[in-house]
Amino acid sequence: MLLMILLFQRDGSRGLISMTGRVAHPQDTLKDTALAIGDPVKAALVTNNTEESNRPRCGVPDYPTLKDVIYRGRHRQKRFVLFGGRLEKTDLTYKVVRFPWQMSEDKVRRVLLEALRVWSEVTPLTFTEVSSGKADIVIDFTSYWHGDNLPFDGPGGILAHAFFPKTHREGDIHFDYDEAWSLGNYMGTDLLQVAAHEFGHVLGLQHSQEPGAVMSPYYSFSYPLELSEDDKLGIQYLYGPRPHVQPPSPPQPLPQITTDTNEIISSIPDACQTDFDAVSMIRGELFFFKSRYVWRIREGRLEAGYPALASRHWRGIPENIDAAFEDQSGNIWFFQGQSYWVFDAERQITGPDSVQSLGLSVSHIQAALLWGQDNNYNTYLFKSGSYWRFSPKENRVDSIYPRNMQDWRGIPSDVDAAFKDQYGYAHFIRGRQYWKFDPVEMNSLQGYPRYFHMDFFGCRNV
Q: Which residues are catalytic?
A: 198
Do 327 and 333 meet the contact criterion of CB atoms below 8 Å apart?
yes
* Residue 367 labelled as part of a binding site: no
* Residue 153 labelled as part of a binding site: yes
Identify residue 28 by its one-letter amino acid code. Answer: D
Alpha carbon distance 93, 129 (integer Å): 6
* Residue 91 labelled as part of a binding site: no
* Residue 197 labelled as part of a binding site: yes
Do 294 and 306 meet the contact criterion of CB atoms below 8 Å apart?
yes
* Residue 230 labelled as part of a binding site: no
* Residue 28 labelled as part of a binding site: no
CA atoms within 13 A on the CB side of 462: 15
* Residue 322 labelled as part of a binding site: yes
* Residue 172 labelled as part of a binding site: yes
- 68 burial via Cβ count (<10 Å: 0-12, 13-18, 19+): exposed
* Residue 161 labelled as part of a binding site: yes
How many residues make up the chain in this entry? 462
The helix-helix angle for 191-202 and 229-239 (nearest 10°) equals: 30
* Residue 12 labelled as part of a binding site: no
* Residue 364 labelled as part of a binding site: no
Cβ partners under 8 Å of residue 393, min gap 6: none
Alpha carbon distance 130, 253 (integer Å): 42
Cβ partners under 8 Å of residue 145, min gap 6: 151
* Residue 58 labelled as part of a binding site: yes
Which residue in 268, 419, 414 sits closest to 332, CA to CA?
A: 419
* Residue 427 labelled as part of a binding site: no
Annotated binding site for Zn(2+): 58, 146, 148, 161, 174, 197, 201, 207, 215
Annotated binding site for Ca(2+): 136, 153-154, 172, 176, 179, 277, 322, 324, 368, 416
Annotated binding site: 58, 136, 146, 148, 153-154, 161, 172, 174, 176, 179, 197, 201, 207, 215, 277, 322, 324, 368, 416
